[in-house]
Amino acid sequence: MPAPSSTRRCGYCERPFAVVGPVAYRLSAIGDGFRWTIDGEEVATAAQHEGNWDVFDLEGTRPALTLVPVEVAGTTRVALVDHRSRLVATFAPDERDGNGIGVIRDGYDRILMLVRADGPSGIHVIDSLGNVLALASRFNDNDRAGLDVLVLSGSTDPNAGAILVLGVSLLMELVRVGTLRRAA
């Protein structure tokens, strides 16, 4: 049923529509893990478990996403798996240049996202349609580094979800600090 774009509530039940827009996250190291915050409020955490990294949102006790690093021909690649253990995507570092960072592909080997460096401290995450999904910049706070991540709402690619973008931001931080390795 058509409705004006200014409509903010469902015409049947009067429930408000979710507002989709840019969201700014801060990814910070905490103890042996990481957490994402919005305006100081925790919204997700990541913890290492048996060599994998589990990303938890605040809605459940099971991971929303798990990063599974695998050594392939001397390179660490990462499978990003959702909470039902279905493959969501794989990350492969871009080996052509030192700052290209990497490519995220779906299970059919189609490009979902490109992760590109932007100067010494910036990162762009671009979807398969060429839209910028997220911008990230490194920060240093009390000798602990992290990322400020701006997730934009500009993507029209349904496969590029927010939890996947958060997983990619964790990947970038783990690559930077050199801890993205499969545990022995």
Domain boundaries, the chain: 23-177
Instruction: State the pLDDT at residue 159.
Output: 46
- Taking a C-beta distance cutoff of 8 angstroms, is the pair 152, 22 a contact? yes
Does residue 1 have a pLDDT over 60?
no
Q: SS3 for 31-65, per residue?
A: CCEEEEEECCEEEEEEEEECCEEEEEECCCCCCCE
Tens digit of pLDDT for each residue in 22-55? Answer: 888 899 988 889 999 988 899 889 999 888 999 9
CA pair distance 74, 51, nearest whole angstrom: 17
Q: What is the pTM of this model?
A: 0.77
Instruction: State the pLDDT at residue 156.
Output: 46
Instruction: State the pLDDT at residue 27.
Output: 92
**27-48 burial, b for 16+ CB within 10 Å, e for fewer?**
bbeeeebbbbbeeeeeebbbbe
Q: Which residues pair with 152 in a beta bridge?
A: none
Does residue 157 have a pLDDT over 60?
no
Tens digit of pLDDT for each residue in 58-94? Answer: 777 788 899 999 888 878 889 999 876 677 888 888 7
Tens digit of pLDDT for each residue in 99-138? Answer: 558 899 988 888 888 898 887 778 888 888 888 888 898 8
In CATH terms, 23-177 corresponds, of 2.40.160.200, 3.40.50.150, 3.40.718.10, 3.50.50.60, to: 2.40.160.200
The larger pLDDT score, comparing residue 43 to residue 6, is at 43
